[in-house]
Chains A and B, each alone.
Chain A
Amino acid sequence: MSSIVLRGAAPMGGKPTDLLIDEGRILDIAPRISGGPGDRVVDAAGLVLLPGFVDLHTHLREPGREDAETIATGSAAAALGGFTAVHAMANTEPVADTAEIVDLVARRGAEVGLVDVRPVGAVSKGLGGELLAEIGNMARSRAGVRVFSDDGRCVHDSRLMRRALEYVKPFDAVIAQHAQDPRLADHASCAHEGELSGRLGLPGWPAVAEESVIARDVMLAEHTGSRLHVCHVSTAGSVEVIRWAKSRGVCVTAEVTPHHLLLSCDLLDTYDPVYKVNPPLRPAEDAAALRAALADGTIDAVATDHAPHAAHDKDHAFADAAFGMLGLQTALGVVAQTMVEPGLLDWAGVADRMSARPASIGRVAGHGGLIEAGRPANLTLVDPAGSWTVDPAQFASRSRNSPFAGHTLPARVVATLLRGQLTVADGALVEAVPV
């Protein structure tokens, strides 16, 4: 196995330098590394070097809906998006609620080998919201699950949520809550409750249905002394609750999706279900509050909530179509547009929110952190001036439901390295996706 020399890369957007990568690690960082005769030299002049991104929230759809996405196609989309690790959500068919299923997902991810696939275990059996799933067995399995979530559904029963928070403590695991009070926003609720939902006649999904659950959960986390993670925060009010909880010392972390950073509910005017997502797109003021919260660290991480859907699950009336949007291949570009360009985050900040903090929340060893000699070479090279126009037809994902189609995004991923191996070079997969 030959070494790789990254020539002239700018770690965290700082001073350009060379890096020598071998045996899966960064061996040396120096102004000039000549390298050996067989080494592959990657010209990284003008490129920003970041730790490989870690997604806390990915729907890979396998097992069950391989027509929409597979672990292979989702891994490819992730690598192209600059990710080196993704958390595969538990709402598959069957649900990832036993050690056997999470092991299957992790094993398949390792076979594909494009990103580290970290399975998320269900909190409740079958996502039923009544009985705890076999959390201990999943945590102790080879997959070593550290994130548990009923995502897609809320753990709405207060007692079950309390027990789940308590039960994961021996495993240093976290409960990732999809905050949605099902009595205030049921499965039919599909548009932010406000002027627009009233005018369009779409069932409203009020902000309070999210905020009240987060408020309860941070108090449960305080009571139990456990780790709580809040999925896809979508409202300014939720940010306030999380800020308050953090000021009290509660162990709570939170994520925001790229689409909630950039898009607003005004897009629903067309009734096009490509804009249907859960939680729903909110007014522009909420998006602004989310950007500010990501900038000041109240929100810890960007997570894609990549949710592939077959076209025939979107070709319905808005209320009948599936919830969800693609996110893996556009995440970096949207974060560059919403956070880097306006000066809310520098590249070190992007590394923190897209890699270090999510790796820490998910207890993903070897990912995130600093770029220094001796560390595993999970890295992403970004062209900060590489603007591109989104064309979902070109995506590696098996689905096409991107709300960013036609958007021009300001930055692109040029290369991704997983443990020292290039998975993506020149913006394309190094090897065809194993099917």
Chain B
Amino acid sequence: MGLAWYLAVGVLAIVVGAALVIWLLLHRAASGRAQRLLEDRLRFETLLADLSAKLIHIEASGLDAALEAALRQMVTFLGTDRGNLDEYRDSAQRVRVSWAKPGVEKLPSILALDDLVWTADTLRRGAVVRFSRTDELPAEAAMDRTRYERLGTRSHLSIPLQAGGPILGVLSFDSVRSERSWPDDLVARLHLLSEAFASALERKRMELSLAERLRFQQLLSSLSVKLSNVSVVTLDQDIQGALRWIIDFLGVDRAVLIELLGPSGTGRSWTVDGSTDLARFPWLGRRLQDGEVVRVSRVEELPAEAAEDRSSCLALGIESPMALPLRAGKTVVGGLVLGTVFSGGACRDEVVEQLYLLGEVVANALERAHAEREVARLRQELAHIGRVSALGELSASLAHELNQPLTAILNNAHVAQQLLEADVPNVGELREILDDILADDQRAAKVISRLRALLKKGELDHVPLDLNDLVAEVAELVRNDMVLRRVPMALDLAPGLPQVRGDRVQLQQVILNLVLNGLEAMSEPSRRDHALVVRTSRAAPAAVSVAIEDSGNGIDMADVDRMFQPLYTTKTEGLGMGLAIARTIVDAHGGELRASNNPEGGATFQFSLPVAPEGDPVTLDLSPIASRGMHV
């Protein structure tokens, strides 16, 4: 019993010891596995924390480099060959970053989704694509399989990247050298990591879009400012500047602005290099008139009837034109023809929308310039009528001026004829007579050419002028009228006045109108001490002024504003346009016309004009007329 007990105890002790050893062994093995698992887990958590931190704090500009570094870490972590981060943009899958181990090819930067239809569909549904071997792919993924094989991919994992919205991109890993599996827990953990990538992509996208929007806002407001002050004179320059901005903003290579003039067709066109009348777009013009947007990927695709448009495009170096109508209100007033818009992708809707906005700004400027041209034309027309009517008022004195030399010529010629009939003509006297006739001819011719100058209808000049000369010329014109009206006219001209810039005839017309206005103010015959003074002076700081002082009854200051309105008159004769025309002309020259009463009686009408800057052409700003809304 004693032995049996010992034996039993010994066996038990061995069993217990063995069990203990086994247990201990087992326990050690389990804790090693758990530890490995734990370490593994820890490594991943570290990677996750590390990558998340890196991707969150990165600037948009450094994002690509950060993404590449992150991919590299992940590929190393996973022990695979290649990692890719693809972005979905404009319906194409764009490989943003690809990192591959040395000796393994990176992916090309754009993947055509046509070859990966099944993969793309699966990813869009939010599901993961994974295979250890390409033959695990389902039958419907035959094309995808070919594609993967061509890329050298043996095992593959694609995880869709989403940040609450549509799919932003794909995080994918390839094994090229060997086959491998993608266990569920790995995929689950990678899902976690993919979120760091997704949010980085989303942030970048938003930042880009914000920057782009800001840039667009900036362009739009600069363009609005630039084009809000557009005038007929600066139109070409402003449009060229606007086109340059648009080209820079859109990254297009060419831009042409065409003016559409009603259904009759195209007007002028502009490029950044200037305006051109050679490039004509009759076919595009018609399509644009109908409000169509025309996009052609190659200019050769334009139809046969667009032959002229095609050659215009080719002449301007536009190979894939896109044309959109420019609307001012509901009217299409022009078109914007752009060269290659977006290389390698279709034009985004957002950009088309932006283009429409830009187009509207440009269209409004075109429309305004058009209206201004029309106003300027009307004004010129009106000024002409004004001159004709002013000359009508001067007709008596002009007749006088012409009839004097004519009388002398007729009489001298008669005497000369008589002298010639003599047996020995008096050559000396004949010569004198001929000299007189010639002088009178020239005198008459001068009167006629002065008349013609005032009656001429033409383009506005914009030349340096001496106001003293203009005053003297007008004084010459009205000299006889003054005699007839028995009003002496005194000129008080300041010497050495700086020049102004403007149109000689129109400024003469201003002086003439004001002088006639002054004469009419003194038309009551009772008084005999009337006098008219025309004074020029330097006005502060960079202006020259002309004052016409009469000694009439003065003006009613309550009416002073109405006085410059068209058709205002206190006279029984005349259109009442003289002062209105004078003011529009002075305004158009950047000057100012005012009326006031003299302390000693009578009124003074005074206008001042800016001194012409040396060597710097002054622009003839026609906008005040348009904004004043002259009822012409």
**Do A and B interact with each other, yes or no?**
no
Residues of B within 8 A of A (CB): none
Residues of A within 8 A of B (CB): none
